[in-house]
Structure 1
Amino acid sequence: MKTNRLLAKWLNDDLTEDELAEFQASPDFKKYQKIKNYTQYLEVGDLDEDPMLSNILQQEKTTLKVIPIYKSWMFRAAAIFVLALGVAFSVKNFVPETKTASFGETNTFLLPDNSEVVLNSGSEINYKKWNWDNKRRLELKGEAYFKVSKGRRFEVQTNLGKVAVLGTQFNVKARKNRFDVTCYEGRIKVNYANTQLILIHGQSVTFENGKQYKTSINSSKPEWMNNQILFNKENIKTLLDEVQRQYNITIILNTKDTTSLFTGKLPDNDLDTAIQIISTTYHLQARKVSENKIIFDEK
């Protein structure tokens, strides 16, 4: 009872110095403080008293129930507490959760069902926690590896296509107009434009500019999780975009030949070696003008 009285006076800024010190020493003070901070920005419309008074006077008279002031403050405190809990619950569960991986970094995290996600550099995922077990759906920008727990249908939506599974391991990459999907375990369904196909363990598919390429793989995880960047028939601009993301650098390309396709691997933890491979493959001269800026010129 004493705590409720102090809480009511505290909400009204009516505590003495001794009472304030006692209240701040209580174990629940930090919780009350968070609630107060969160609810202080809530606004309530102005009360129009005249129509309310007129309505009361027209009603049949009843016995008035007197509520002590200290009880009204308790009701106010309880109302604020319940409202704050409701707002906090809504924010936690209904507002989309966003996970990102900056350039030069990766980000590993678990979804509400303990499915594991590893975001590659320069990527983002959005999902909602609310009702996750019944609607396992997320949006991906960039590239990510998924190790999905068994359960209901699991969907990965990108701006280029969609992947649906029940429980498996796979990699999805959506960069610009290129969509790559690889299945490392089980089977997955891929939707791209008007095309729908099933991938099983060891299969990979690429969609780009209306064309489809299907290949086989031998690895158990994406190469980028082992510090290597895998390229499959990709032009130099796409290749350099990925190198910039992985190393968090700026690259300027001065060459007319941008159509030659590259298939192979580059390290994502050894920039000098990556530069050397690119220079040799495309007959370019590399200039490192600063720690984070490289220029490629034609020889």
Structure 2
Amino acid sequence: MKKNRLLAKWLNDDLSPDELAAFEASPDFEKYQKIKNYTAHLEVGDLDENAMLSNILSQKKTAPKVVPLYKKWAFRAAAIFVLALAVTFVMQFFVPETETADFGKRTTFSLPDNSEVVLNSGSEIQYKKWNWDNSRHLELKGEAYFRVAKGRKFEVETRLGKVTVLGTQFNVKTRKNRFDVVCYEGRVKVNYNNTQILLTHGQSVSFENGKQVNLTVNTSKPEWIDNQIGFYKENIRSLLDEVERQYNIKIELNTKDTTSLFTGKLPAKDLNTALQIISTTYHLEAKQVSKNKIIFDEK
């Protein structure tokens, strides 16, 4: 009730400075600001109090009643508040939900059907709650691991391709021009340009610049879930980009050899070991010039 009262007062610009500061710091303030913007052009007509009173007194009544008259702002606040609740309802169900994982972080959340999603560092997902059970569709930027509850078709849209499943466990990754999909359980349909592939348990496919590579995997979940960063024939710049995401750092590379491909794993929770592996593999020397910056030079 207190929250609703504050919302009504805010819509009427009737909050004290302290109340306004606390209200703007609330997690729902951005949503309420959108509501206010949507309803700013709406007005409630002026109340003719005298006409209302005359009409009431002219009517026959079996018993006397006291009819309170409220201030005009109270009626306006009530009308706008009801409208705001309606807009809030619409926004909660029709405006896309966004889940993000910042660099150096991961985010785990559940979808409306209790499907589970784990977002890897530097990734984002958008989806709509409305009619979710009949239209299980979301958009992914980056990398995510899905445990999909059984139900209707489940679609993951990326800028490089689309993945369609019914109920399964799989991993999707899009980085620059590379698109990777791994199926850990059930079946997964992958669409990339004009190519359509069906993956089953233990199968993986990668696309990069139009080239396709099919692989077999022997694990039950992605390496990054267990704090290992897995690579298969990726160049050093792509490798360093992923290290930057996992550790939330910046890496400067000073070498002429950027075409050699790397296959293997790097730890996602031990930066020194990761830097040693990279240095040894590419004959580089790593220098930490600040807390969040590494420079690789040729030896």
How would you bin the TM-score normalised by the shorter chain? 0.7 to 0.9
Q: Is the 8 A contact 2:44 2:76 kept in 1?
A: no
- Secondary structure of 1:70's match? coil
Partner of 1:31: 4
Cα distance between partner residues in 1 of 2:5 and 2:43: 26
2:243 and 2:43 map into 1 onto residues whose CA distance is 58
What is the CA–CA distance in structure 1 between the aligned matches of 2:69 and 2:126, rounded to whole Å?
46
Query: Is the partner of 1:86 in helix, strand or coil?
Result: helix
Q: Judging changes above 3 Å, is the alpha-carbon distance between structure 1 residues 201 and 85 closer, same or farther for their aligned structure 2 residues?
A: same
1:43 to 40, 43, 48: 40
Q: Which amino acid aligns with 1:133?
A: D
Give the conservation status (yes or no) of the 8 Å contact 1:235–1:258. yes
Q: 1:215 to 1:81 in 2, by over 3 A?
A: same
% identical aligned pairs: 68
Aligned to 2:79: 79
Instruction: Report the equivalent of 1:142.
Output: 142
Matched, 1:194 2:194: yes
| Structural mapping, 1:47-62, within 5 Å | none
Q: CA deviation at 1:33?
A: 2.4
| Superposition deviation, residue 228 in structure 1 | 0.2
- Check whether the contact 1:38–1:84 (CA below 8 A) recurs between aligned residues: no
Shift of 1:77: 5.9
2:249 match: 249
Distance 2:180 2:293 in 1: 28
Pair 102,193 (structure 1): closer, same or farther in 2 beyond 3 Å: same
What is the CA distance between 1:82 and its match in structure 2?
Answer: 2.7
Contact 1:35 1:84 in 2 (8 A): no
Task: Work out the CA distance in 1 between the residues paired with 2:254 and 2:236.
Answer: 11
Mind listing any 5+ residue stretches in structure 2 that lack a counterpart?
14-35, 47-53, 58-66
**Corresponding residue for 1:20?**
none
Deviation at 1:285, TM superposition (A): 1.3
- Corresponding letter in the other structure for 2:270: D
Match of 2:209 in 1: 209
- Residues 203 and 171 of structure 1, relative CA distance in 2, 3 Å threshold: same
Mapping of 1:79-158 within 5 angstroms?
Answer: 79-158=79-158
Counterpart Cα distance in 1 of 2:11 and 2:134: 31
Q: Is 2:271 the partner of 1:281?
A: no
Q: Does 1:70 align with 2:69?
A: yes
Q: Distance in 2 between matches of 1:231 and 1:147?
A: 22
**Where does structure 1 lack aligned partners over 5 or more consecutive residues?**
1-27, 50-63
Give the ranges of 4+ consecutive aligned residues of structure 1 lying more than 2 Å apart after TM superposition.
28-49, 64-82
| 1:226-241 map, 5 Å | 226-241=226-241
Show CA shifts across 1:209-245 (max 9, x none).
Answer: 1100000001111000001000000000000000010
Q: Deviation digits for residues 172-218 of structure 1, max 9, x if unmatched?
A: 00011000000000001000000001000000100001100000001
Secondary structure at the residue paired with 2:92? helix
Query: How far 1:154 sits from its partner (Å)?
Result: 0.5
User: If the length of structure 1 is used for normalisation, what is the TM-score?
Assistant: 0.80
Within 2, Cα distance between the matches of 1:161 and 1:45? 43
Distance 2:175 2:207 in 1: 11
Q: CA RMSD in A?
A: 2.3
Partner of 1:290: 290
> How far did 1:66 drift?
4.3
Determine which structure has more spread, i.e. the larger CA radius of gyration. 1
Deviations 1:89-146 (A, max 9, x none): 0121111111100111100001111110000000001111111111111100000000
Q: How many residues align?
A: 258
